[in-house]
Chain A
């Protein structure tokens, strides 16, 4: 650990070494981890957590701690993701997979309302009311929590909050795990969103070989903690957890350029780099689908064959699709250049004006899951470098 990165600031005013100071912390032995899943189940939560499937860490239903990805390490690079067995007892020694919370709050496809024709030929519209089961998600990262806060701002604030998102959000219980193994694609230090989970969780865990440093971030979290076989955390365990967080800061090599990106990007809309990236970009939308903050959707009418009913459904869309900029017979962004530019200038630029912060939380998913390995930190740096040189 170099002096330079030791205790480096991860959030304005938050230091890695301060992460374990404010709350009451306890220790949950590894062999008792099942009791956490059992208590959540007893409280009526369905449990979701990381499992290995099809060569990636994905979030799925979970009843047993033994389903967790023991020893799994993720090796990530632009356009590349592989799981390896690193050995050891740990379950959370990986950075992330293609998704975490987003599909549980903002499903990829859902019916919002339906229309029916009544006997007199009149039209009736009926909202689809959902009653989601309470869900506890285990293994949520700091970047995912930052993305959740952004989605909360998008879906819940403002004059017309999204009813489906709101109902799912109320029922969500979050068990965060501090990130000890960022991937090479991660840059949450640069965005100020990780690797430590500092807010927005019900329970947070720091994983050690022998068990977990655990604390509650909400009253609901405290209720669960009260039921667990916890012991007092000792100073050596806290030291180890701090050291691992510091290492998770030090290991990150990618970063976004210093801002203000909302000004720099919009001053460079004709930069030749947009043409260059358009030669590589496939406009496939994978970056936006795996982005935990992207929320664009298309709404479609699906009538029955007899024309008597129609379902109005919403599904994930992307600024890389033709439909995204289709207005009254005209596609405003017909080429890949303008679509990539829309994604980057919105994500890193106009998002700041819209939501008070960048839309990027540094999870690096768009880099790893881009089929041709386009790296948004590299693209942004290329545009900003020339802007600064001027």
Chain B
């Protein structure tokens, strides 16, 4: 169970998710010298891909935009970044589309690397599964601007990853 504490002391239990501890399950735990680990190659590659950094340029520009709109003379605390980012429907749609694209390319990379066949449900989700599952895709960054469930609006667009930032 994972609890996320964001701008409020928000408790968002997400039972059954592996996503926040996948690096621990793959990287920690008892090892015994003579034991083998299955699919070591696939797992190691996956670990690397789990850590692919979110698009920094994209993030930079969004921050800049938010900063430019921020007026320190007024009470900025009453605004949230999604609002500053103009988190309207269009932005959301674009963000989601871009995120899906990034996921697909990363997923393909892993799938190629581990020689997965179509129909295999490897740890990286297929892009088309996005939003269908109750839990976050495992290979997604821990970071991407997840909002707490206490928010009534699902506001912020998911951050897209860009291969060119790697």
B is bound to A: no
